[in-house]
Amino acid sequence: MTTAHTSPPWRHWRHVVKLDPARQITDEVVQAIAASGTDAVFLGGTQDITYENTNTLLGRLRRHAPQLPLWQEVSASDAVVDGVDGYCIPIVLNTTDPHWLIGAHAQAIEKFGPWIDWSKVLVEGYLVLNPDAAVAQLTGANTALTPQAAASYAAAAEALFSMPVLYVEYSGTFGDPALLAEVARTARRAHIFYGGGIDSYEKAATMAQHADTLIIGNALYTANWQQVLHDTIRAVK
């Protein structure tokens, strides 16, 4: 007897909201996200991420958006929470510090190994490309990549390390469509996430031509969040 293969849920995501546990967000915004048609919510950030603020945000989302898939993007092992649908594990491909390529991950596995449900873990090969972003500074990322260099990192992540997701991250700044296009052209099997500066229909439509999933984050903390939510979902769906 053969068993039908079911693709993982993230393969079908076109629009994902990323919420930072260290930043304030109102119940009105959370409820709007729940009703918006987004495919999933990520909980994650770079600075001041704790178990307490992550768990608090998770509880609010479970109350107001019980139907939405909720995944934690893990940036600190002591902030890992129960009750999410899955865990995204970032691996910074263009870091100059091996701690962010393998060191932090080995430490976390040493600490939590017996309790990890690997079926709920998604590995993300990150290309961090905004030099002014906190994540770039924390990880010592080499952000001065040409489209060809970025595509080479992507090809190595896909072919040598079998990473299922490549995340092109500009952290609040709108990125280079040509670079994203070259990454997508080169890495044909990996699923492409794009995040950075998506705050309009036009920007979402531009990057959705090359990325499988758009990640919308910083723009939801602005006064224009309702329009951003509506327009970015309309652009991809």
Total count of residues recorded for the chain: 237
Residue numbers in the known binding site for Mg(2+) are: 20, 46
Q: 113-145 burial string, b = 16+ CB within 10 Å, else e?
A: eeeeeeeeebbbbbbbbbeebebbebbebbbeb
Euclidean distance between CA atoms 22 and 114, whole angstroms: 29
Q: Are strands 165-169 and 86-92 parallel, antiparallel or unpaired?
A: unpaired
Annotated binding site: 18, 20, 46, 167-172, 197, 217-218
* Residue positions forming the annotated binding site for sn-glycerol 1-phosphate: 18, 167-172, 197, 217-218
Crossing angle of helices 225-236 and 27-36, in 10° steps, is 10
